[in-house]
Amino acid sequence: MIDEQRSRPPIFIATLWARASWLFFRIAHRTIQIRALHRQSGSDLPEKRPTGLRHNTYLGDRPPVWIFAIVLLITGDAACADEKPDWIGLLTSDKGPGTFAAPPAMRLGYLFGWSGIKAATADIHFFSPTRNTFEVDASGGTSGFPRTLFRLDVYHQATENKNTLRPIHFFQEEKYRQEIVKTNVDFESDCVMGLREKIPSDHPSKPNVFKFSPVFDMTTALLWVRSQPLADGDKESIVVWASNAPYLATVRVIGRDTIKIKGQNQNAIRLDLTLKKIDKKMQLKDHKLFKGGRGWLSDDNKRIPLRIEADIFIGYVFAELESMQLE
């Protein structure tokens, strides 16, 4: 079984599942000096509304076809306002958390690698500070030779609702060689409000508001998925908030598997992950960096992530469990 002794202090990097691939997006970008630019499109033109109609003035000499056209315009706008994207009907989050027991308080250590090179480490402390909440305190960063190319240290703290497995708030700080990025996200009953600040910066940060519910952060996404039955072939689709933007995450259970961790064979549940970005018009867009992912949860009463793999634009990266200590 996995060695349950740790030599590192209690901490974490940002929550497994998709957060692992997120860290490597950062590492790969800076290492080969590529920076993705995410620019929002210009604001839409204001919608024109028909002015008030006056008898015998505006419509007095207009043929009936104009009246019909205006009626179509008004009813068409109303229909578009009520229309929902097809992907919303595929979400499985309305059914609520499953019955699989939540994990116990624990400290976990993970190793990250890229193209066969050990690139970073992460430490996680998962616990329940109150009767109704979970908390994750995490930190991580690049290590070894990759750190000489790209310096990154990350701290992540998240508070979650223990009963609903919905997020409440998370804070994240990313320290690079020449800048610091701070992210604060609040999850309300009907929306998400995220603020991402770069220091130094010549421009004030603007909050990103996403009016949709339910939305999960990375921690609760993992908790919610692992709480489900996870029978072979099951599929879960939820909206997650990552890197201060919403994504549609689809997790499919491939089946039971055996994976070697630290030289020991572990029984595991193999999962497949796809991500689609949700734009301002609620349309799905392909992720520019993330091509696909796989994960292995321990097939026991803990369901801990054993290994995560991500196919990204520069190849293949992974995160693997190194240590575990129950509290």
pLDDT tens readout for residues 27-69: 444 443 333 333 444 444 344 444 444 444 444 444 444 444 4
Q: How confident is the model at residue 187 (pLDDT cuts 50, 70, 90)?
A: very high
pLDDT at 117: 83
Whether 17 shows a pLDDT value over 50: the answer reads: no
pLDDT at 29: 44
Whether 195 shows a pLDDT value over 90: the answer reads: yes
Task: Return the domain boundaries, the chain.
Answer: 16-33+86-326
Highest mean pLDDT among 72-86, 98-112, 114-128: 98-112
Mean pLDDT over each residue of the chain, to the nearest integer: 82
End-to-end CA, the chain: 17
pLDDT tens readout for residues 32-42: 333 333 344 44
Residue 248 has which token pair?
Answer: 């549609």
Whether 72 shows a pLDDT value over 70: the answer reads: no
pLDDT tens readout for residues 201-234: 989 999 999 999 999 999 999 999 999 999 999 9
pLDDT at 52: 42
pLDDT at 255: 98
What is the phi/psi pair of residue 55, to 5°? -65, 135
For the residues 266-286, what does the mean pLDDT come to?
96
pLDDT at 121: 98
For the residues 123-131, what does the mean pLDDT come to?
98
Give yes or no for a contact between 110 and 256, defined as CB atoms under 8 angstroms apart. Answer: no
Q: Beta 264-278 vs 245-261: how paired, if at all?
A: antiparallel
Whether 12 shows a pLDDT value over 70: the answer reads: no
